[in-house]
Amino acid sequence: MGIKAIVLILLTVIYLYETALNVIKMRSVNNPIPENVADVYDPETYRKWKQYHGEKTRLALITSTVSWIISMLLMVFNGYAAFAGLFPKTLFMQMLAVMIPSALTDLLLIPFSWYDTMHIEEKYGFNRSSGKTFWADQLKAFLISLILMAAVGGLLIWIHQALGDWMIVVFAGVLMLIVLLIVFLFPIFSKIFNKFTPLEDGELKERLTGLLEKHGYHVRGIQVMDASRRTTKSNAYFTGFGKMKTIVLYDTLLNQMTPDEICAVFAHELGHGLHRDTLRNQCLTFLQMLIIGVLAWLTLRSAAIYPPFGFDGVNYGFAVILIMSVEFALIAPLFGLLVNWFSRKAEYRADEQAVKEGYGEALIEGLKKLSKENLADLSPNPLLVKLTYSHPTLSQRITAIKKLSKEQKTTD
Ligand SMILES: [Zn+2]
């Protein structure tokens, strides 16, 4: 079998896997709701949830079908090489030329994203974006991804030309540096999309800083993000490294929760901090980069891959497309299995921190509110949880929190 046929089959396998996940998701809408989360939705909200998930999944199915058809057409008819033919024969220009169809595909998919934000999210009351914010977001995201693609492609050419087979080690190292840089620059990047203000002085701030001080945990500040500009969904997270570490609370979280519940969510985030969960995530990212480095090395030394797709020789842009949308896309679900398993364990441990601080009950109430506001799936298919969930289900978390609270009471 030719290389072209293999690539087309693999693209289809990846598409079918995504489709299977979406179909399972659609079916789990009718799973019975566990007893300990039966009070999260009232019948009206539950009906709304079913519709919301149905519409979201249907759109995901359509979007992935459209992008699969476009990639198949581009591969079958040597579309990438056709674009490359229009550009000067330098390595860099040839790489950029191949990126153009991918960028155009992104543009074609904007209507789906528009339908998602302005129609579905709007209909269920999540969306706060104006048309202007939506287009500004699309433009910013498009420019950032274009610059990143050109930078990574350019780097690949430079390193491969200078080092040959030795590139693999250096490439993974450099990619890791880029990841660290993105983590480091994330607070700056997020400022392109949102406004951050320090949490105002008062009882809440005192309680939160008290929690941090108790564990000798230093952060640069507690910031409130104007998430309500785009969404009614709420969240909290850590960002930055070492002394630059900042805790970000969505303003929606502050508006929807009682002080006890906010402290509980905060103690959960502190749990992540104390267990160095971010560091572990960065290690896993590094492993991922190493895998991509190996794939890049293999893809660039196999010159026979390129001619069947219309190229004279190695094209670095096409190599990036093969690595990301075929080779890594095949490994990603397995990798996700591992990453999500670690992540779900970390979530239980972070919940434990909140219980230790005496916020077990408040955390349960807070999580119920979060799930309700975010229209979370209360009874997802267990296989779906194992494959794709970074967090345990609400029901699983409540069971664990209750068990821990009971153990704590008996030892007190
Ligand atoms: Zn967490």
Helices 394-411 and 328-356 cross at an angle (nearest 10°) of 30
The encoded tokens of residue 139 equal 């433009």
Compute, in angstroms, the gap from residue 390 CA to the centroid of ligand 1: 9
Tokens read off for 138 = 């699309």
**Cα of 147 to ligand 1 centre, how many Å?**
31
- pLDDT at position 304: 93
Other CB atoms within 10 A of residue 163 CB: 13
42 CA → ligand 1 middle, Å: 26
Ligand 1 centroid to Cα of residue 281, in Å, is 12
d(CA 122, CA 128): 8
**C-alpha 247 to ligand 1 mean position (Å):** 13
Residue 9 CA, ligand 1 centroid: distance in Å: 38
Q: What is the mean pLDDT of residues 53-62?
A: 88
For ligand 1, the distance from its centroid to the CA atom of residue 120, given in whole angstroms, is: 27
> What CA–CA distances, in Å, run from 6 to 170, 286, 322?
29, 29, 12
Q: How far is the CA of 156 from the centre of ligand 1 (A)?
A: 35
Rounded to 10°, the helix 3-27/43-76 angle is 170
User: 368 C-alpha vs ligand 1 centroid, how far in Å?
Assistant: 14
Q: Determine contact, residues 80/101, Cβ cutoff 8 Å.
A: yes
For the segment 358-362, the average pLDDT, to the nearest whole number, is 95
Give 238 Cα–ligand 1 centroid separation in angstroms. Answer: 10
Mean pLDDT of 279-298: 85
Distance 356 CA to ligand 1 centre (A): 15
Does residue 330 carry a pLDDT above 80? yes
Q: How far apart are CA 276 and CA 232, in angstroms?
A: 29
Provide the token pair at 53. Answer: 């998930």
Calculate how far, in angstroms, residue 393's C-alpha sits from the geometric centre of ligand 1: 12
Ligand 1 centroid vs 355 CA: distance in angstroms?
14
345 Cα: distance to centroid of ligand 1 (angstroms): 10
| Cα 362 to ligand 1 centroid, rounded to whole Å | 15
**Section 349-376 average pLDDT:** 92
> Average pLDDT in the 211-229 region?
85
Ligand 1 centroid–CA 397 distance in Å is 11
What is the reported pLDDT for 134? 83
pLDDT tens digits for range 136-184: 888 888 888 888 888 888 988 998 888 887 877 787 788 778 778 877 7
Q: How far apart are CA 72 and CA 351, in angstroms?
A: 45
- At 382, the pLDDT band (50, 70, 90 cuts) reads very high
Model confidence, pTM: 0.80
| Span from the CA of 219 to the centroid of ligand 1 (angstroms) | 17
Contact partners, residue 324, CB within 8 Å, separation at least 6: none
| CA of 269 relative to ligand 1 center, distance in Å | 6
CA–CA–CA angle 82, 87, 90 (5° rounding): 115
CA of 260 to the centre of ligand 1 (A): 17
198-217: average pLDDT:
89
Residue 60 φ/ψ, nearest 5 degrees: -60, -40
Distance 11 CA to ligand 1 centre (A): 33
What spacing in Å lies between the alpha carbon of 268 and ligand 1's midpoint?
A: 6
How sure is the predictor about 19, in pLDDT bands with cuts at 50, 70 and 90? Answer: very high
* Residue 234 scores a pLDDT above 70: no
